[in-house]
Amino acid sequence: RQPYPSHNNRTQPSPEFLNTAIVSAGVDRQQIANLSVPVQLTFPTYNKDAANPRCVYFSRKGSEGEWLDDGLKSSFNNFTKTVTCRSSHMTSFAVIMTIDAATFVPIGTHAVIMNTISYLCLFLSLVGLILTIMALTLQRTLWRLDMTKIH
């Protein structure tokens, strides 16, 4: 398996992505496992439209690693949009979620829309500026012609 992209560096649609902060829990570099009372962590989600939460932990293998979900239990609170993870060990945890393809708008699409709006506003501003300069110039010309002089 490949590590999942974070919510910040995702440039193209991905069926799953990290939708929370990564939280590391441990005690002075000791491996904590097989706890009798599970560790419970509650994560607020970044993207509120995401669905299908899955708690994961990072398993390091040499210089690489992967996100795994074995031994973790997830529960999602739809009202607060938080995910609670329960685990019998301590390591680095996060929540992976999916986005419905029907509502997903790729990051590149947002950039195109924002650029189009920006250029349209720039064009309208320049047209307004030119019309204002023309109106002020015409007003001064008319003001000079209609000026009455008192002798």
pTM above 0.85, yes or no: no
Per residue of the chain (151 residues), give pLDDT as tens. 344 444 444 444 457 777 788 888 777 777 777 778 888 888 888 877 777 888 888 887 777 888 888 888 888 888 888 889 888 888 788 888 877 665 555 666 777 888 899 999 999 999 999 999 998 888 876 666 655 656 5
Tally Cβ neighbours within 10 Å of residue 41. Answer: 19
Amino acid code (one letter) for 60: R
Amino acid code (one letter) for 130: I
Question: CB under 8 Å, gap of 24 or more: what pairs does 136-141 form?
Answer: none
Please report, in angstroms and rounded to a whole number, the separation of the first and last CA atoms in the chain. 95
Beta-bridged to residue 82, according to DSSP, are 44, 77
| CA-closest candidate to residue 55, choices 25, 87, 89 | 87
- Please state whether 113 falls in left (phi above 0), alpha (psi between -120 and 50) or beta: alpha
Residues 42/61, Cβ–Cβ less than 8 Å: no
